[in-house]
Amino acid sequence: MRAPTIDPRRMPGYHRGRRVALQVGLTAIAVSWLVPVVSAFYASFRSYRGDSLKNGVFSLPERLSFDNYVDAWNRGNIGRAFGNTLFILVPALILTLFFASLVAFACTRFSWRFNVFFLVLFTAGNLMPQQVAFQPLFQIYKRIPWPDILSDTNTGYLLGTKISVVLIHVAFQTGFCAFVLSNYMKTIPKEITEAALVDGASVSRQYFQIILPLTRPALAALGTLLFTWLYNDFFWGSVLLTQADQRPVTSSILVLNGQYTTDYNLIAAASVMIALPTIAVFIALQKHFVGGLTLGSNKG
């Protein structure tokens, strides 16, 4: 069911001329909004030493090529970094949504003493500044032995594995997602589960066969948001992983910051490559973004 369409002519303040002015104004603002991104994009096709440094950054190009992209890919080990990002992102995404829906399910479909307490716990936890938890978390990870079979880096402890990053992401993001999903699940009529209860379905069947399918839109919306947040994470990837070859792609841009030289165009190319996945997901799944952000907010 789509939202009722607004007929602009029947809204207060409608005026033909004003609409034209509005379009023009918005276009101008949109163009200036994009200027930083377009400049970086433009810079990525030029060579630093040969071109930008001599002729100026915004001059017409001597030569346009994909050289910077190839160079950034190799020197920044970006292929490997993407692999690391995936290794962290996919399990974190799935686990977070799974755990959050479990918690939301248990807290909203059943009445028990600590219902609200747990929801409060999770929501407050997500609003915490991450810097506050970092230091002791590091020490905790350092002391948990982790067998090599389960480890991706064989450090002997949980510290230094990408798994440790997955775990902290799940721990943090479950909070917000549980809260949002619980709001959503409250809108699922009790009658549906009531029927199942009467039929003798177990709780786990209720969850997997009734609630989970019904929650799909919310999960999809949250999933797209979560993808962006997890992908763009900068803090945990750089402080928990000391081996450079384990770092996710967003930290890999640092590698291209030379100690002595900053090849501006090279970093521009790396930035474009790093930004592409989130931009692609955003454009393709835009509606879900909007849905995801509002799932928790439209509360009566």
Partner 1 sequence: MSGKITRSPSPSEVGIPMFTRRNIVVGGSVLSLAALLAACGSDEKSSDPTTAGTAAPSGDSTATTAGGSTETTGAGAPTGDLGEVTLGGIFTDDVPNRAILAAIETTGLDVKLNSVDRDSWVQNFNTYLQQPDDVMGWNAGYRMRAFASKGAVGDVSDVWETIGPEFGEGFKSASTGLDGKQYFIPYTFYPWGIFYRKSLWEEKGYEIPVTWDDFLVLLEKIKTDGLIPIASSNDGGWQQMGWFDMINMRTNGYDFHVSLMGGKESWEDDKVKAVFENWSTVLPYYQENFAARTWQEAATSLGAKESAMFLLGSFLVSNFDPEADPEAQAIIDDIDFFAFPEINPEFGQDAVEAPIDGYMKAKSPKNPEGANALLTAFGGAATIEAGVAIDSSVIAANSAADTSGYTPLQKKSAEFVSAAKYISQFLDRDTDPDFASNVVGAAFSDWLAGGSIDDVLQSVEAQKQTYTFE
Partner 2 sequence: MSSDTTTRPVTAAPPAGRRKYRVLSGGDRLWLKFAVGVPAALHIGLVWIPSILTAILSFASWDNLRPISTVEAVGFRNYWQILTIFDINLFPALFNNLVLIVWLFVCSAGGMFFAYLLDKNIRGSRIYQSVFYLPVVLSSAVVGFIWKSVMFSKDQGLLNKVIPGASVDYLGDSSKMFEFQLPFMDFSLGLSKNFFAILVAMAWRHIGYIMILYLAGLKAVDPSLREAASIDGCTEWQAFRQVVFPALKPINVVVAVITIIEALRAFDIIATLGTQRGTEVIGTLVVSSLTGEGGGRTGIGSAYGMLLFLLCIGFIIYYLINNFKNTDAT
Q: Are 236 and 130 in contact (CB under 8 A)?
A: yes
Find the binding residues for partner 1 in span 172-211 (CB under 8 A).
Answer: 183-184, 186-187
- The stretch among 10-18, 23-31, 204-212, 218-226 that binds partner 1 (CB under 8 A) is 218-226
CA–CA separation, 99 and 113 (whole Å): 20
Q: Specify the residue, 188 or 275, whose C-beta has the smaller distance to partner 2.
A: 275
Read off the tokens for 241.
């992983």
Q: For residue 86, how many other CB atoms are within 10 A of its CB?
A: 14
* Residue 260 binding: pick among partner 1, partner 2, none (C-beta 5-8 Å cut-off by kind): partner 1
Angle at 8 between CA 6 and CA 11, to 5 degrees: 95
What are the CA-CA distances from residue 133 to residues 125, 164, 236, 240 (Å)?
10, 14, 11, 12
Of 39, 55, 65, 74, the residue at the interface with partner 1 (CB under 8 A) is 74
- Identity (one letter) of the amino acid at 78? I
Site string (14-43) toward partner 1, x via CB under 8 A: ------------------------------
Neighbours of 283 (CB within 10 A): 9
Pinpoint the alpha helices (H) of the chain. Answer: 16-43, 53-55, 67-75, 78-109, 115-127, 130-143, 162-185, 190-199, 203-205, 212-214, 216-232, 235-240, 249-252, 264-284, 286-294
279 binds, among partner 2, partner 1, none (CB under 5 to 8 A by kind): partner 2
Dihedral angle at the C-alpha atoms of 298, 232, 242, 268, nearest 10 degrees?
-160
245 binds partner 1 per the rule CB under 8 A: yes
Question: Do the beta carbons of residue 191 and residue 201 sit within 8 Å?
Answer: no
Near partner 1 in 248-267, by CB under 8 A: 251-252, 254-262
Report which of 186, 226, 250 is spatially closest to residue 96, judged by C-alpha positions.
226
Within 137-156, which residues bind partner 1 (CB under 8 A)?
138, 142, 155
Q: How far apart are CB 11 and partner 1 at their closest, in Å?
A: 15
Contact between 221 and partner 1 by CB under 8 A: the answer reads yes
81 binds, among partner 1, partner 2, none (CB under 5 to 8 A by kind): partner 1
Q: Which does 236 bind (CB under 5 to 8 A by kind): partner 1, partner 2, none?
A: none
Work out what residue 23 binds among partner 1, partner 2, none; the CB cut-off runs from 5 to 8 Å by kind: partner 2
- Map residues 40-69 to x or -, x wherever contact with partner 1 holds by CB under 8 A: -------xxxx--xx---------------
Residues lying near partner 1 in the complex (CB under 8 A) = 1-3, 47-50, 53-54, 74-86, 90, 138, 142, 155, 157, 159-160, 183-184, 186-187, 216-218, 220-221, 224, 238-239, 242-245, 251-252, 254-262, 277, 280-281, 284-285, 287-288, 290-291, 294-295, 298-300
